Amino acid sequence: MYELKVLGSFSAAHHLLNYEGECENQHGHNWKVEVYIKGENLDKSNILVDFKVLKRELKTVLDRLDHKDINELPEFKGISPSSEILAKYIYEEMNKLFPQISKVGVWENENSCSMYYEQWD
């Protein structure tokens, strides 16, 4: 089994709904994102997925979030856009192009990360 990881980042504001504490107020993060792809079969160049393609598509997804108030985006209207929800959103968007995605990690800071993955059979 092979596994790749690419990194991306974006800056955005958000606030948590139904939360008591500082995070209920609007605040921002410089988010770091990790996308993992895994699979058993390499192509004729002996690569699983071209890093260049994977990074380009991740950037496309993250550009939709970058320098935005996440709570105001239609995809997150009325829900609390926690790092867990962002990890799931990025996973689902990347999964449309890369069905071999294994997980996504979203870091709010150097000490706090949420991961999202789906169970494979």
Give the residue numbers marked as catalytic: 23, 67, 108
Q: What is the three-class DSSP state of 7?
A: strand
The sign of the CA dihedral 69, 72, 76, 78 is positive
Question: Backbone phi, then psi, for 39, in 5-degree steps?
Answer: 180, 170
Q: Are strands 101-109 and 27-39 parallel, antiparallel or unpaired?
A: antiparallel
